[in-house]
Structure 1
Amino acid sequence: MSIISLIIKREFIAKVRNKSFIVMTFLSPLLFVGIAGFVAYLSSMKADTKRIAIHDESGLFVNEFVAQNDKNSEYKYLDLSTVDMQFLKDSITNENYEGLLYIPKTKTNKDLENKIEFISNSSPSIVFIEKTQAVIADKLTKSNLEIAHLDTLAIKNAEADINISLSKASGEESIIGLNEIKIAIGGGFGYLIMMFIIIYGNMVMRSVIEEKTNRIVEIIISSVKPFQLMMGKIIGTALAGLLQFLIWTVIGLSLMFAASAFFGVNIGPTSRVSPEIMHAAQQEFSGTAQLYIKELWNLPIASILISFIIYFIGGYFLYSSFYAAIGAAVDNQTDSQQFLLPIIMPLMLSVYIGFFTVINDPHGTIAVVFSMIPLTSPIVMLMRIPFGVPWWQIAISVSLLFATFFGVVWFAAKIYRVGILMYGKKPTWKELYRWLKY
């Protein structure tokens, strides 16, 4: 055990003293904050106003669009119904206008439904087309009702506005969107695990390749067992990664609070809302906010945090064993690419299952099965836990995860033991299988 602790110490010190590690540890938070500030600045900038020409031969719709000029700053509608159509088309070609909305004159409203055109040099956005269609459809509907001598006001008053309230079987009031909050919490923790595995698993692999190509490993192997060296690298790199994450968190929070204190920047979605509006919103939505807070406190917070730590450790150790074995089997990172895809695929699969299956059916067969499979359980199970998972399912999932980890370490150590001293040959899957038998 003392030998492994020495290797862990050596790997940890080697990582934290590396210049690139030090630079990225302190530079990454600054880059993230700078990018976030730049994105916020770009979002606050007013978009260029796009001029839309309207040639309305029917005379029914042009006022509906012109009336929106004050409401919609992104598009400005111009009534050019008296201008020659060919001249307008040439103006579109010369980019004097963003587009031309042509509404012909027809005998009936029914004939008009499929004859409206929007002419432009580039394809317009889906949102713009949908809004345009909605304005025309609303106006046509009113016109059709008037032609049919129906009371439009009575029809509007007869429209039902349904607002379904949610409650639990116990009688407590519930809220809409709670599932989305739960999947966001679980997905956030799962995403952290995936990023840690990819970043620091690759770091383990690069470390093994570097020592192998420099022939340093030949000296190290003479004093320690390959299994001890592999475990020491995995744990030492994990500790360096945790230290880096901790520093990133501290620096990131410090920068956000510093920006708030010294530049008067309010951090959060309410940064541009005046105190009067905020007070009115608080009065109106205080009941809903209390429900959200209550539901959040009712979440299994302790189970989420404890499970995150357990799956964080188990998932990282499991995948890092694969990365270490690959690093020992190849001579450079280019040769490692053929072996990395089978490692990345389960991680990507677990993310897709989490966001497309767990949110709709967290206790369904697919979600339960993949939360038990060790290669996907660190992410899928974390997404399920906010929805409430029986303790026995968590126990089985964790047991399978760590049992698989020990099994993979045993197999990876065999590949590591042989591959760490193999040079000048690109291994194949068949050769890796043969190494397992040595």
Structure 2
Amino acid sequence: MNKLNLIIQREFFAKVRNKSFIVMTFLSPLLFVGMAFLIGYLSNMNKDSITKIAVYDQAGLLKNHFKNDKHTLYIDLSSLPFKTAKDTAKASYEGMLFVPKVNNIQEIKDKVEYISEDSPSIEFISNIEDVIDSTLTQENFKVSGIDSKKIEDAKVKSDLKLAKYSGDESLKGLNEIKVAIGGLFGYLIMMFIIIYGNFVMRSVIEEKTNRIIEIVISSVKPFQLMMGKIIGTSLAGILQFLIWAIVGGVLFFMASSYLGMEAGGSAGQVAEAAKHAEKMNDFKSYLLEIQNLPIATLITCFIIYFIGGYFLYSSFYAAIGAAVDSETDSQQFLLPIIMPLMLGVYIGFFTVINDPHGTVATVFSIIPLTSPIVMLMRIPFGVPAWQLILSIVLLFGTFMLVVWAAAKIYRVGILMHGKKPTWKELVKWLKY
């Protein structure tokens, strides 16, 4: 046990005293916060830009139906000769809408063109098509003698209310919020596994390449060395994550407060806030619903699955590091490890959101290789205790089995040099 503690301490301090570790620990929050506000700043710059669109309507049916807004300005050039209007649009406008003269109004729907050098966005095309459809529909009503106002008055827009059997009111989009919360925890686990699992693998490869491992292995058991690397690296990673969370949170709060003070004097923003008071009430309702979620269970399970999932996958990474001589040789073994993690993310977002208690979501939340991600997405919806217990038992049971198998590969692989192992050879090493 003393030897294991010494290895853990050695791996931990070797990581935290590394210059690149120290620099990235304190630089990463600055980069992430700076990037977030840079994206916000660039987005606000685009909000003030106005796109000018020329309209050349020979039929005279549509030009008055394109309405200007704060982002788009439509300019009628129909009085100019077509070539002059086209040259003007090419030189000074984003593009030109061309409506040809037709004999029948029905012909317009397939003959309107948008002329520009750059392809327009799908949203822009959809908006133009909506205007054309609406205008032509109204014209058809007039031709057919149908009162369009009566049709509009007869239309009904429903607002479906959601409620629980207990009588309490429920909110729309709550499932998406639940999946997002569970998905965030699952995504953190996946990123931690990939980043720090690679650290474990690189550490093993480095010591193996430098032949340091041959000296170390003479005084400790391979299993102790492997577990020491996994635990020591994980502790360094947890410390780095905590520092990121604290420093990033402080920086984000300071930047938000500063920008908020600057924005506070804007009368326009005050009016905008008053305008969206109803939306803020809905936001408060969602916050109350989130508070009713099993937060304590979610956080507790996050810690359990975090530890179990990381130890499980780090054992794979350690075994791969022992089996190869360079990171290049490790690529053939990494894909089967990463695939279950990616599968868990896809299962979570595309299955749990629609059927959190269905067979697919339930099975993959119990399978150890995907349970750290899928189960965390299911917990906000409420998971039976037996499924939760079974999933955790299988996760740590599989971890013990993988550690045993990885230790066998590790024991043989750390002393192997100059040969790229195959999957068949790895299976043979398990029998030694």
* CA-CA distance at 1:81 after TM superposition: 1.6
Sort the Cα spacing of 1:232 and 1:183 in 2 relative to 1 into closer, same or farther, 3 A: same
Aligned partner of 2:184 in structure 1 is 188
* CA-CA distance at 1:97 after TM superposition: 3.2
Aligned partner of 2:36 in structure 1 is 36
Aligned partner of 1:207 in structure 2 is 203
Q: Residue type matched to 1:197 in 2?
A: I
Secondary structure at the residue paired with 2:75?
Answer: strand
Aligned CA-pair RMSD = 2.0
Q: Residue type matched to 1:390 in 2?
A: P
Question: What's the CA shift string for 1:260-291, capped at 9, x where partnerless?
Answer: 44x343699xx997345435644x35653453
Secondary structure at the residue paired with 1:54?
Answer: strand
Instruction: Say if 2:405 and 2:430, in contact at 8 Å, map to a contact too.
Output: yes
Instruction: Say if 2:182 and 2:380, in contact at 8 Å, map to a contact too.
Output: yes
Aligned partner of 1:278 in structure 2 is 273
Secondary structure at the residue paired with 1:51?
Answer: strand
Corresponding residue to 2:106 among 101, 104, 110:
110
Corresponding residue to 1:159 among 155, 165, 171:
155
1:341-420, aligned counterparts within 5 Å? Answer: 341-420=335-414
Secondary structure at the residue paired with 1:113?
Answer: helix
C-alpha distance in 2 between matches for 1:145 and 1:360 = 41
Aligned partner of 1:224 in structure 2 is 220
C-alpha distance in 1 between matches for 2:226 and 2:92 = 66
Aligned partner of 1:64 in structure 2 is 65
1:222-301, aligned counterparts within 5 Å? Answer: 222-261=218-257, 263-265=258-260, 274-279=269-274, 281-282=276-277, 284-285=278-279, 288-301=282-295
Q: Residue type matched to 2:425 in 1?
A: E
* CA-CA distance at 1:99 after TM superposition: 2.0
Question: What's the CA shift string for 1:346-368, capped at 9, x where partnerless?
Answer: 11111111111110111111111
Q: Residue type matched to 2:82 in 1?
A: M
Instruction: Say if 1:260 and 1:267, in contact at 8 Å, map to a contact too.
Output: no
Q: Residue type matched to 2:312 in 1?
A: L
Sort the Cα spacing of 1:272 and 1:318 in 2 relative to 1 into closer, same or farther, 3 A: farther
C-alpha distance in 2 between matches for 1:286 and 1:167 = 21
C-alpha distance in 2 between matches for 1:330 and 1:286 = 56
Aligned length: 429
Question: What's the CA shift string for 1:193-235, capped at 9, x where partnerless?
Answer: 0000000000000000111111111111000000000000000
TM-score by length of 1: 0.93
* CA-CA distance at 1:87 after TM superposition: 4.4
Secondary structure at the residue paired with 1:78?
Answer: strand
C-alpha distance in 2 between matches for 1:391 and 1:423 = 48
Aligned partner of 1:316 in structure 2 is 310
Sort the Cα spacing of 1:286 and 1:32 in 2 relative to 1 into closer, same or farther, 3 A: closer
* CA-CA distance at 1:91 after TM superposition: 5.5
| Superposed structure 1 runs of 4+ greater than 6 Å apart | none
**Does 2:45 correspond to 1:45?**
yes
Question: What's the CA shift string for 1:116-173, capped at 9, x where partnerless?
Answer: 1222223211100000011111111122212222222222111101111111111111
C-alpha distance in 2 between matches for 1:83 and 1:207 = 73
* CA-CA distance at 1:80 after TM superposition: 1.6
Secondary structure at the residue paired with 1:392?
Answer: helix
Instruction: Say if 2:15 and 2:236, in contact at 8 Å, map to a contact too.
Output: yes
Aligned partner of 1:81 in structure 2 is 78
Q: Residue type matched to 2:206 in 1?
A: E
Instruction: Say if 1:57 and 1:104, in contact at 8 Å, map to a contact too.
Output: yes
Instruction: Say if 1:174 and 1:291, in contact at 8 Å, map to a contact too.
Output: no
Aligned partner of 1:149 in structure 2 is 145
TM-score by length of 2: 0.94
Instruction: Say if 1:328 and 1:415, in contact at 8 Å, map to a contact too.
Output: yes
Identify the structure with the greater helix proportion: 2
C-alpha distance in 2 between matches for 1:384 and 1:372 = 11
Question: What's the CA shift string for 1:79-104, capped at 9, x where partnerless?
Answer: 12233334445556x55432221112
Corresponding residue to 2:297 among 303, 314, 325:
303
Q: Any unmatched runs of 5+ in structure 1?
A: none
Sort the Cα spacing of 1:115 and 1:275 in 2 relative to 1 into closer, same or farther, 3 A: closer
Corresponding residue to 2:117 among 118, 121, 124:
121
Sort the Cα spacing of 1:295 and 1:328 in 2 relative to 1 into closer, same or farther, 3 A: same
* CA-CA distance at 1:392 after TM superposition: 0.5
Secondary structure at the residue paired with 1:433?
Answer: helix
Secondary structure at the residue paired with 1:101?
Answer: strand
Q: Does 38-47 or 173-182 show the bigger shift?
A: 38-47
Instruction: Say if 1:193 and 1:315, in contact at 8 Å, map to a contact too.
Output: yes
Sort the Cα spacing of 1:288 and 1:39 in 2 relative to 1 into closer, same or farther, 3 A: closer
Q: Does 374-383 or 251-260 show the bigger shift?
A: 251-260
Sort the Cα spacing of 1:276 and 1:56 in 2 relative to 1 into closer, same or farther, 3 A: closer
Q: Does 76-85 or 35-44 show the bigger shift?
A: 76-85
Secondary structure at the residue paired with 2:55?
Answer: strand
* CA-CA distance at 1:372 after TM superposition: 1.0
C-alpha distance in 2 between matches for 1:368 and 1:346 = 16
Percent identity (aligned):
62
Sort the Cα spacing of 1:111 and 1:264 in 2 relative to 1 into closer, same or farther, 3 A: closer
Sort the Cα spacing of 1:11 and 1:371 in 2 relative to 1 into closer, same or farther, 3 A: same
C-alpha distance in 2 between matches for 1:161 and 1:142 = 20
Q: Residue type matched to 1:216 in 2?
A: I
